[in-house]
Chains A and B, each alone.
Chain A
């Protein structure tokens, strides 16, 4: 079973629109960590955010914000006033910290391709 589900395969928006990328995860561990990475067309993976399971505070960083809800096992990512440079594939990932978990390994979703048109 997929531990991380990104149901949106592709999203297209026009510049300045707000866009939310969905991420739903599945784990039995009480301690876990969630991540978002960005992969621009150049191919590298860029870390955006790390959040642990005990911290449900939403986070804002410039035009980026993250909404973590344990009740729905979701960790959604919103880009406000999108720009062409936001065009990339965005990956949500989960790392479990419980006994028996593979040390630090990341379970990735399949990614969401975001295209921002001028």
Chain B
């Protein structure tokens, strides 16, 4: 199994509070991704990173920011959480070898915003 951990695994917070989710990998992969999973939508990309300090937006990036100061850590921040951000968040890692390699996913973080 790919060495990917996410913390916290569960979090309940209130509307308007900041929240940071952490993804940690031990595989030294360049590419890291944050997805959210909602019923009826599958998984949708929030942000991704292709190296330290190199990040870009995905299709549902509004209300989220990310940072990657070390290869192994990719942080997702909700500056001011809203109820629409209640979701399960997955981090993924991969490499690029003559094309996109398989993405391996962390265990997920279930976030509830009240």
Interface centre among B44, B58, B99, B108 (most CB of A within 10 A): B99
Chain A residues within an 8 Å CB radius of B42: 4, 91, 108-111
A interface majority secondary structure: loop
7 A-B pairs (CB sep. < 8 Å): A43-B107, A102-B56, A104-B33, A104-B100, A105-B48, A110-B40, A111-B42
Q: Given the complex of chains A and B, what is the CA–CA distance between A35 and B33 in angstroms?
A: 16
The A-B contact count (CB < 8 A) is: 66
Question: A29 → chain B, closest Cβ, in Å?
Answer: 11
Q: Given the complex of chains A and B, what is the CA–CA distance between A4 and B43 in angstroms?
A: 11
Q: Given the complex of chains A and B, what is the CA–CA distance between A23 and B90 in angstroms?
A: 22
In the complex, A87 has a CB within 8 A of chain B? no
B interface majority secondary structure: strand
Known pairs A43-B108, A91-B42; A103 contacts B31 (CB<8 A) = yes
Instruction: Give chain B interface residues in 4-44, CB to chain A under 8 Å.
Output: 31, 33, 35, 40-44
Residue of A nearest to B103 (CB): A106
Chain A residues within an 8 Å CB radius of B40: 110
Report the contact-size class of chain B (Cβ under 8 Å from the partner).
20 to 34
Q: Are A44 and B105 in contact (CB under 8 A)?
A: yes
Question: B12 → chain A, closest Cβ, in Å?
Answer: 17
In the complex, A115 has a CB within 8 A of chain B? no
In the complex, B64 has a CB within 8 A of chain A? no
Residue of B nearest to A44 (CB): B107
Q: Given the complex of chains A and B, what is the CA–CA distance between A43 and B37 in angstroms?
A: 11
Instruction: Give chain B interface residues in 74-114, CB to chain A under 8 Å.
Output: 88, 90, 92, 94, 96, 99-105, 107-108
